[in-house]
Structure 1
């Protein structure tokens, strides 16, 4: 169970990383990266960040670029929250594919509920 401190830090990091990615993706047409969740470890040393990337076909490529630039992203985050946090946690990025999963389930449900034509 997360402590209140962990929850506050998670929300702060989620908001600030969302702003950072919004500024970065303005240059790329048709790409949207949103931070769907942040989980901070109990010692506040690691922040697991889950990203929702649109379009999902570019997800792996964009995640690799983000992982390659994790130091610069952490620096930008430190510039934004340095007054509120003593130590900026290490960042680990993962793809949040829950929306793709939900979309797939929705498609399956729609295809299974098609009315069949009755011939009398």
Structure 2
């Protein structure tokens, strides 16, 4: 269970990273990167960031590209939240595939409903 401070920092990092990704993906037409969840460790030294990437078929490549630039991303984050946080946490980036999972369930349920109608 996250403490109140962890929850506030989770929201702060999520908001600021979302803004950073929005600005960076404006140049890339047809690509959308959103921060779905952030989980900060109890010592506030590590942040697990879950990214939802559209189109999902390019997700792995885009995530790999972002991971190679994680130092610059952390620096940009530090520029935005440096006044609120003493230490900027290390960023671990993960692909959030929950939307793909939901889409797959919808397809399966849709196919199941069609079979019942017939």
TM-score bin (small chain): over 0.9
* Displacement after TM superposition at 1:86 (Å): 0.3
Listed as ranges, the gaps of 5+ residues in structure 1 are none
Q: CA deviation at 1:45?
A: 0.2
Structure 1 residue 99, shift from structure 2 partner:
0.3
Partner of 1:7: 7
Question: Structure 2, unaligned stretches of length 5 or more?
Answer: none
State the match for 1:32 in structure 2. 32
More helix by share: 2
SS in 2 for 1:84: coil
C-alpha distance in 1 between matches for 2:2 and 2:14:
15
Pairs aligned (count)? 116
Q: CA deviation at 1:82?
A: 0.3
User: Structure 1 residue 93: deviation in Å?
Assistant: 0.2
| 3-state SS of 1:7 partner | helix
Could you report, residue by residue, the CA deviation over 1:17-62 in whole angstroms, capped at 9, with x for unpaired residues?
0000000000000000000000000000000000000000110100
SS of equivalent residue, structure 1 residue 113: helix
Partner residue, 1:94: 94
4+ residue stretches of structure 1 with deviation over 3 A? Answer: none
